[in-house]
Structure 1
Amino acid sequence: MYVALQDGDSDQINIAIDGPAGAGKSTVARMVAGHLGYVYIDTGAMYRAVTLSAQRLSITAEQDARLSDLLPALRIRLEPGERGQSIFVNDEDVTGLIRSREVTRQVSYFAASGVVREVLSTMQRELALQKGVVMDGRDIGTHVLPDAELKIFLTASVQERALRRFKELPSDQGVSLEQLEGEIAERDRLDEQRDISPLIQARDAIELDSSDMSIDEVVAAIVKLSRTKLAEAK
């Protein structure tokens, strides 16, 4: 995996943003990174890329041996651009494909795989060594970057998260709001109850409930907290 990182800077910290599906982590993390001049690392996209690749080969999340053979052959690249971050697997642009409902419904199972998590978590830690990274996921503050200077647990009600997803879907998808609520609630259950790196709030994380907040308000709050943490670290 290759991600362009700036040189280390003593005036930078690492920021971990965790939370359930649909809480707006990726959008918020990307915007926070832009405000601070940091590098945004979308760990969810990495798990989705593995999920898509496995699905194409009819590999299930329980087939550890086949996953162990697949992972070394995958070259995952996160490439920033004017329209946001693009995701490439072996030089194929899969940015849109990894957001399909088929991948969304299965990614939690692959994220629960110890084989997958070991490989991707190692990559993610290496990317954060130089500081100045904003990383979002479900176990960043508890497992991947437990020493991150700022940890945020971003959440929202199931109903609000489902509504956000519903508004993003094309009108011809034929998916009801109630169906999305059920899928998100089930994904929460899977993420919270998995044996390996479950979704839990780190003890030193700051919880932000975005149910009644705009994206800009959430971003402003995290940027303010990051500047406070940086001042405290000096």
Structure 2
Amino acid sequence: MKDIIIAIDGFSSTGKSTIAKKLANKLEYVYIDTGAMYRGITLFAMDKGLIVDSEIDKVALLEKLPEIFIYFKHNSSTGVAHIYLNDVDVSKKIRSLEVSNYVSLIAAIPEVRKKLVEQQQVFGKEKALVMDGRDIGTVVFPNAELKIFMTASANVRAVRRYKELIEGGDSVSYEEVLENIEKRDLIDTTRADSPLIKAEDAVVIDNSELTIEEQLDYILELVKNKIEEK
């Protein structure tokens, strides 16, 4: 079977990572969660006191960018790749609502995006890759063989994210989660550098009423067709 690059973009909490992980596992491809990379830098900024009252000390953050080392490592006990920030497993910490509140602001900084895009493009040199994020099909891999753009209503996404946080032990309200999602949508789609937009050749999937299995089956069929075209 010929290997391809699969780029999955879309709004926050549309289940991009869940689908991408399952897809990569099914195809025996490498999976990279770019959103986790931006969350890692956000957590770094928070830990260093570089975010105060929703204001980011960009000058200090950019000075410290060379100190930030992010990588993925397979965890045999969980069966998935965990993300490490300077050799510390931060897979759970980066999923907090507090990190979610700031990650779109961090991701809007051009120098941060440049650093991570360069690293992401290195991952794709061997193909056989599934990568999800906000600008994978438009900026990171504009020549990806298959591009997916995932969407769902804000209310549906808020319910999903709320359940995920509650099950993870966080104390949050549905209203907080919905506000966070709507805020992130606005920032992601209006930022000057690499805004969230659908690539012209991307396949749109509105998964508001689709199960994970239905989405996976549909995308696997798209993958099969793309590979047969090569």
Shorter chain as normaliser: what TM range?
Answer: over 0.9
Partner of 1:70: 64
Distance in 2, matches of 1:30 and 1:173, equals: 23
Distance in 2, matches of 1:128 and 1:147, equals: 11
Partner of 1:208: 205
Distance in 1, matches of 2:42 and 2:29, equals: 27
Assess if the C-alpha contact under 8 Å between 1:64 and 1:115 holds in 2. Answer: no
1:87 and 2:83 are equivalent in the alignment: yes
Distance in 1, matches of 2:50 and 2:172, equals: 26
Partner of 1:47: 38
Partner of 2:6: 15
Distance in 2, matches of 1:214 and 1:85, equals: 23
Distance in 2, matches of 1:126 and 1:175, equals: 37
Which deviates more from structure 2 when the two are superposed, residues 126-135 or residues 75-84?
Answer: 75-84
Assess if the C-alpha contact under 8 Å between 2:83 and 2:90 holds in 1. Answer: yes
Assess if the C-alpha contact under 8 Å between 2:37 and 2:116 holds in 1. Answer: yes
Q: CA deviation at 1:176?
A: 2.3
Partner of 1:181: 178
Partner of 1:38: 29
Partner of 2:123: 127
- Residue correspondence of structure 1 range 130-149 to structure 2 within 5 A: 130-149=126-145
Assess if the C-alpha contact under 8 Å between 1:67 and 1:116 holds in 2. Answer: no
Distance in 1, matches of 2:59 and 2:173, equals: 37
Q: CA deviation at 1:166?
A: 1.3
1:103 and 2:99 are equivalent in the alignment: yes
Distance in 2, matches of 1:74 and 1:169, equals: 27
Question: CA-atom RMSD, angstroms?
Answer: 1.5
Q: Which structure 2 residue ranges, 5 or more long, are not aligned?
A: none
Task: Determine helix, strand or coil for the equivalent of 2:125.
Answer: coil
Amino acid in structure 2 at the alignment position of 1:67:
L
TM-score for the superposition, normalised by structure 2: 0.93
Distance in 1, matches of 2:39 and 2:148, equals: 22
Task: Determine helix, strand or coil for the equivalent of 1:88.
Answer: strand
Partner of 1:3: none
Distance in 2, matches of 1:195 and 1:181, equals: 24
TM-score for the superposition, normalised by structure 1: 0.91
Partner of 1:217: 214
Q: Which structure 1 residue ranges, 5 or more long, are not aligned?
A: 1-9
1:195 and 2:199 are equivalent in the alignment: no
Tell me the alpha carbon deviations over residues 119-141 of structure 1, each in whole angstroms, 9 at most, x when there is no partner.
Answer: 00000011101101100000100
Tell me the alpha carbon deviations over residues 32-78 of structure 1, each in whole angstroms, 9 at most, x when there is no partner.
Answer: 00011100001011000001011111224754432222221122111
Q: CA deviation at 1:178?
A: 2.6
Assess if the C-alpha contact under 8 Å between 1:51 and 1:106 holds in 2. Answer: yes
